[in-house]
Amino acid sequence: MMSFLRQISKRLLTACLPPERLLTRGGRSAAHERPRLALTFDDGPHPIHTPQLLDVLRSAHVCATFFVVGKDAEQHPDLIRRIVKEGHELGNHTWSHSEPSQTSPQHFLEETRRTDSLLQELTGTIPTAMRPPKGELNWTKLTGLWRQQKTVALWSADPRDYKMTSSEEMRAWSSAFLPADGDVLLFHDNHPWAATAIETMFRRGLFEKYQPVTVSVLTGRKAIV
């Protein structure tokens, strides 16, 4: 019952709020433009999987948004710099990715500030987009993020790649997936299957029909300098 109520609340908030406050799907593209989709990756950077994914994204000539965990960004600063250098976007995914139900609003918001501070130190900018772990928030955390001038970025398509056990599973999902204009796709670059997803969608010509964009393009909000 609580899960159902959360889903209803999420739908109501999404319908009432502009995407620069709460994003699950972008608005319709202009008539003369290709429909858009946003590729997003959570829980990195990972020393093996993130570089492999960046190589694939570069080969496919597409941009993406990486929602990074602060403690891992601190361990792999060169990967953070590479993400930005290659034209991708950073988002905040807290410092430790702690379990939402066991994390107080105060601790959650402090982790967000700490990650912002690190990313500013590494790149010179502060991301406006923030994705809470598991997409779970209560009202106090949500309003606290808005006071920090954050866009809460969720998603509209989730293959649950963190549960997959083989590249064949991801190829099957990526081959069958039919995007809608403005979709926000959720993958994880601390697992090996995200690169397989991008390769599969590229080979099927999906990026010729749809324009991959960053979250800031869908929300109209750039990183803070």
Positions annotated as catalytic residues are 42, 188
Rounded to whole angstroms, how far apart are CA atoms 216 and 190? 23
Angle separating helix axes 105-123 and 139-147, nearest 10 degrees: 30
Rounded to whole angstroms, how far apart are CA atoms 98 and 22? 21
Q: Which residues contact 165 (CB under 8 A, 6 or more apart)?
A: none
Rounded to whole angstroms, how far apart are CA atoms 17 and 14? 5
Task: Give the burial string for 146-170 (b: 16+ CB within 10 Å, else e).
Answer: eeeebbbbbbbbebebeebeeeebb
